[in-house]
Structure 1
Amino acid sequence: MKLSGQIKPISYLKAHAAEIVRNLSAQAEPLVITQNGEAKAVIQGIKSYEQTQETIALLKMLALGQRQIEEGKVQPASDVIARLRNRGKSS
């Protein structure tokens, strides 16, 4: 993702807030807001934010799974399926 075209000073945000909010849903990239030449905030549309959150959640699940594999906390799928089937029979 190339953000160089999406960097604006805080004065631009103040002067164009309504326009920025209207355009956020159409643009996929976030808008970086600077103050005194330093990046201070990121603004993004709600759909983009939701996608980001879903991606983060998926990456966390993958990292957890990888850690469990490394720690040996895994079982063959056939064993788990058999255990689940037996649980259903005993109920």
Structure 2
Amino acid sequence: MQYSTQVKPISYLKANAAEVLTQIAEAREPLVITQNGEAKAVLQDVASYEETQQTLALLKVLALGQQDVEAGRVKPVADVVKRLRAKRSEG
């Protein structure tokens, strides 16, 4: 997606806020808001924002897992399964 097609000045946002919000919600594409010719903010619908946050959280979990692997903080799956089965038998 090219963000250059979704760029509006802040004056447009001020004059057309309700319409802009409707467009963003329907198209589910972010809108870059400019002020004095410079990009200053990105306006995004809530559903897309939530999806982005979930994706970032998953990427963070993956990165932490990769750090554990690189640091050698891993255990063979067979050992983990044995331990879990032993705990289940005790309870």
TM-score normalised to the size of structure 1?
Answer: 0.94
Give the deviation of 1:28 after TM superposition.
2.5
Query: What stretches of structure 1 move > 3 A for 4+ residues in a row?
Result: none
1:77 aligns with 2:77: yes
Structure 2, gaps ≥5 residues long = none
| Residues in 2 aligned to 1:18 and 1:84: alpha-carbon distance in whole angstroms | 55
Report what 1:35 is aligned to: 35
Map 1:59-74 onto structure 2 (within 5 A): 59-74=59-74
Task: Name the amino acid aligned to 1:4.
Answer: S
Q: Is 1:17 aligned with 2:24?
A: no
Per the TM alignment, residue 59 of structure 1 is displaced from its structure 2 partner at its CA by 0.7
Two-structure CA RMSD over aligned residues (Å): 1.0
Q: Which residue of 2 aligns with 1:54?
A: 54
Structure 1: give runs of 5+ residues left out of the alignment. Answer: none
Aligned to 2:45: 45
What is the CA-CA distance between 1:90 and the residue it aligns to? 2.0
Distance 1:5 1:73 in 2: 46
